[in-house]
A and B are shown apart, each in its own frame.
Chain A
Amino acid sequence: MNRRSLLSSAAAVAGAAVAAPLLTACGSSSASSKGGTSTKTGLQAALPSYVANNSLKADIPSVNGAAGSSTDPGFLSYPATQTRTVSGVPGKGGSYTAVTPLWGTVPNPGNSFYQAMNKALGVTLTMKPADGVNYATIVPTMTAAKKLPDWIQLPTWWNPNFNVGELVGTQLADLTPYLSGDNIKQYPNLAAIPTGAWADGAWEDKIYGIPSFSSGFALAGTTFFRQDVLGAKGITADQVTSADDLFNLGKELTNAKGGVWAFDDVWTYLFPYFGVPNKFTVTDGKLVHKYDTPQILEALDWHYKLAKSGSMHPDALAGNNNDGKTRFYAGKTLIAGDGMGSWSLTDAQAGVAANKNYRRGAFGVFAADGKSTPGVFLGTNTAEVSYFNAKLKKDQIEELLAVANYLAAPFGSAEYTMVNYGVEGTHYTMVNGVPTATDDGKKYVQQQTYPFLATCRAVISNPGADQVTKDYAAWQAAASQHVYKPVFLNMNITVPQRFATADAAQAVEDTIKDCYHGIKKVSDVQAAISAWKSSGGTQLVQWYSDNVMAKYGTGQ
């Protein structure tokens, strides 16, 4: 073989190596464009068994609510002696990279907490938290370059942005062989994660994702108020039983001259009280999109009037959401919609820093008209699912699953304490039986990274702010009686690319936002909805009806 032919054959080999992934990529695109979801029986076969872990008795036990929901257990004390649930170190010395979203300050790489965790886990797990605000645009650059890290968190509300339906199997590893049925029992902490949450990481009858913060009572958020301020005026949550009550309360509380307006944005978590479905509802056996319901128009009408009533803060009307919490803490707004995550220790600390009497409260679930049965749809059992890279080998996946099992250790265990509070003396100290973060703890541990890879079932625990735990647990118990399962709950549906625009319905959502800010009228939203219907909306609903509801049911 002369030099030239050697070179050319080498080039041919290189060419084949390049061509091979391209060919598989080509195949995958045709496979995924069909769209679809899991079948009932197929999913049942794949889902892991559930083995409850009741090692620690909750101070406020879980309550069973409507639609099979169960509230999160509340803990008022932290166990002094923490039991171990994992013997030895789970890892075998492998090296991995993990990317998680972080809504906060990125801790220094290689800090003392990361080092301690690596030692405890027995692996070199390089944590690379990325800015949560821009996460939806960061991840697609990684997937387009096919350079996902070994372990990545993909929040479910961004599934369409990440195109997870297309990533599973091609770039994300299939975990079904390791976790389905009784296979999960070798990872007891993972087995204690409720089944519904595993469905949120399942795609077309296979298990791909590991859920974090799974809850039997998942609501996206609700309408909060300043309990301390309203309480001082003798106003309690149960006095508000209709949208009219809320409207009138707003007029009463607003003092524009004094710089106080009753309302911040409330639409996002209040519209369900008007009977508006999550996305779809089934009427007479027919699938109906929420845009096609009269209820959404009623809800918009009320919110439009609210925006025009003068009881909404002008900055909220100007779309400045970033300072919403600051306005609430400062008492410039008194009623605000927010995610459930804001009922927490950090919120209490931030609020008390602004006003020492600060206390958060929330209105109960009510029907807008004050007559109908109050109802609000449940959210998916988890909104945070982490995935493994498809390039990982079998023993690597098993090593990382063992790590996930460590991270998912139950509340109050030694592993849970390590993941959430770090090393005693370095990252936290016990003050009156409460783990209290040191400065290093605040910098490295409180900026959550590992919990976005795997956690145990959600609990309500706010060491040092028991009032928050009691308030939140009581609200959950009351609200859980009024929930219902929305159509397609916990079903991961891959919508074909050609419907991406109609599914996002950006133009309608924009007009809705303008409407509850008082810029556009309800009739403008109606016009946007009919434009949406004629430019793909009707076909989209038909696709959901034919390809999802007819084949797989409504998941209710």
Chain B
Amino acid sequence: MAATVATKPGKGRRKTAEDGTRPVSAKLSWRIRLRRDKSLILMTLPAVVLLLVFNYAPLFGLVTAFQYYDPLVGVWHSSWAGLDQFRMLFQDPLFWGALRNTLFLSLVQLVLFFPIPVVLALLLNTVMNERLRNFVQSVVYLPHFFSWVLTVTIFQQMLGGAGVLNQFLRQHNVGTWDFMTNPHTFALLITSQAVWKEAGWGIIVFLAALAAIDNNLYEASAVDGAGRWRRMWHITLPGLRGVIVLMLVLRLGNALTVGFEQFLIQRNAVGHSAADVLDTFSFYYGIATNNYSYGAAAGLFKSVISLLLILGANKLAHAFGEDGLYRK
């Protein structure tokens, strides 16, 4: 993801495509291109190897989704199940519950989480004092480097039933506020934790895009009498549009991946029916009960839907005239 983002300085790249760099390179033989790009290829090689070893090679394991896999006899000797695992999966109310939770949490996060880094980046961009800006930026970045265990612990210490807030309320004879163990507000809890932990990190991309906007545009419009809001509406937001759409495409593609540890840690607090998402479902009802094939089937289902989602979202991006993940 980082690589895609780095090569996207707004709309600038489209111009080079239009003025014909691409068709020329297509005419060159692969040998010449190889020589020309060898340092670039060399640089990406380690990443490609990692991808092959840890992302492509394990794909062969998907075969277990069609078996009654027994690790003691191995993949080659486990008996075939055909589509039995999927049949059981689709009849399992727990699976549908996990899917429903996943989609719901994804939607809530899309609405409540996604805009926050954009807004934060815009706000931060208006801070002129560089020292203050760097300070604020560091402070909001920091939680990204905390583990989920730590994040949840901090929330528990602050907002938990025996936490600072509730103990204060209790001592002043005010009713307590049950936020950490209430399954009905779990989506809000999860999102507020995610905002606290990740929103600061999320602004990096948008800050980079903001830096790429030509300052002359602002000056020219200011001379023409455009106020702060008009400048934001007509210059800043259009400048960010490409990145926002890209991030949205990626988010939609990952709609079925809402996290794992965050749910694993808080599963006991709100109960399995509120906290189980597809990934924890695979873990608890697949790996933890030695039913690997069942977990693999749930994982494969998730991957297929995710692929369709990302392709669909990308098409949508193209329809809006944006680059999306790749150009046509």
Contacts and interface: CB of A to CB of B under 8 A. Distances in A.
Nearest to B270: A519
B301 interface: no
Contact of A25 (B68, B73, B181, B268): B73
Interface residues of B, number: 40
Interface stretch (A314-322, A340-348, A421-429, A481-489): A314-322
Given A143-B71, A519-B181, A160 B271 contact: no
A317 to B, nearest CB: 6
A383 to B, nearest CB: 19
A318 B160 contact: yes
A6 B320 CA distance: 66
Contacts of A140: 71, 290
A163 B268 contact: no
A22 interface: yes
Given A144-B74, A315-B156, A510 B181 contact: no
A226 interface: no
A100 B71 CA distance: 21
Interface of A: 22, 25-26, 28-29, 137, 140, 143-144, 160-161, 163, 166-167, 170-171, 256-257, 259, 261, 313-315, 317-321, 332, 497-498, 500-501, 504, 506-507, 510-511, 513-514, 517, 519-520, 531, 535
Interface stretch (B195-203, B231-239, B281-289): B281-289
Q: Is the interface of A mostly helix, strand, loop or mixed?
A: helix
A320 B180 CA distance: 12
A29 B72 CA distance: 8
Interface string B143-174: 00000000000001000111100110011000
Contact of A163 (B72, B160, B266, B267): B72
Contact of B162 (A167, A313, A514): A313
A256 B74 contact: no
Q: Across chains A and B, which 9 residue pairs bring their CB atoms closest together, nearest first?
A: A314-B161, A319-B268, A514-B271, A144-B71, A519-B271, A318-B269, A510-B272, A504-B289, A29-B73
Contacts, number: 116
Contact of B269 (A313, A319, A500, A510): A319
Nearest to B178: A314
A535 B76 CA distance: 28
A140 B289 CA distance: 12
Contacts of A519: 181, 183, 270-271, 274
A318 B285 contact: no
A171 B71 CA distance: 13
B206 interface: no
Interface of B: 68, 70-74, 76-77, 92-94, 156, 160-163, 166-167, 170-171, 180-181, 183, 266-274, 284-285, 287-291, 294
Nearest to B183: A519
Contact of A314 (B70, B72, B162, B287): B162
A318 B73 contact: no
A517 B162 contact: no
B161 A318 contact: yes
A511 B285 CA distance: 14
A25 B285 CA distance: 26
A514 B73 contact: no
Contacts of B274: 519
Nearest to B76: A22
Given A144-B72, A510-B272, A317 B267 contact: no
Contacts of A171: 72
A506 B284 contact: yes
Nearest to A161: B290
Contacts of B167: 259
Given A314-B166, A317-B181, 12 more contacts: A25-B72, A25-B74, A25-B77, A144-B71, A170-B72, A257-B171, A313-B161, A314-B161, A315-B156, A321-B268, A504-B288, A506-B285
A531 B273 CA distance: 14
Contact of A167 (B72, B76, B284, B290): B72
Most buried by A among B93, B162, B163: B162
Contact of A166 (B72, B288, B291): B72
A510 B284 contact: yes
Contacts of A321: 268
A526 B287 CA distance: 25
Given A519-B181, A519-B270, A22 B77 contact: yes
Contacts of A161: 290
A313 to B, nearest CB: 6
B162 A315 contact: yes
B267 A319 contact: yes
A320 B77 contact: no
B294 A259 contact: no
B96 to A, nearest CB: 12
Given A29-B70, A319-B269, A506-B284, A259 B290 contact: no
A535 B88 CA distance: 9
Most buried by B among A25, A140, A507, A535: A507
Contacts of A317: 161, 181, 269
A22 B78 CA distance: 12
A317 B179 CA distance: 12
B70 A257 contact: no
Contacts of B162: 259, 261, 313-315, 332
B271 A29 contact: no
B293 to A, nearest CB: 10
22 contacts: A25-B73, A25-B74, A28-B72, A28-B73, A29-B70, A163-B70, A163-B72, A163-B290, A166-B72, A256-B170, A314-B161, A314-B181, A317-B181, A318-B156, A318-B266, A319-B267, A500-B291, A506-B285, A510-B271, A510-B284, A519-B181, A520-B273
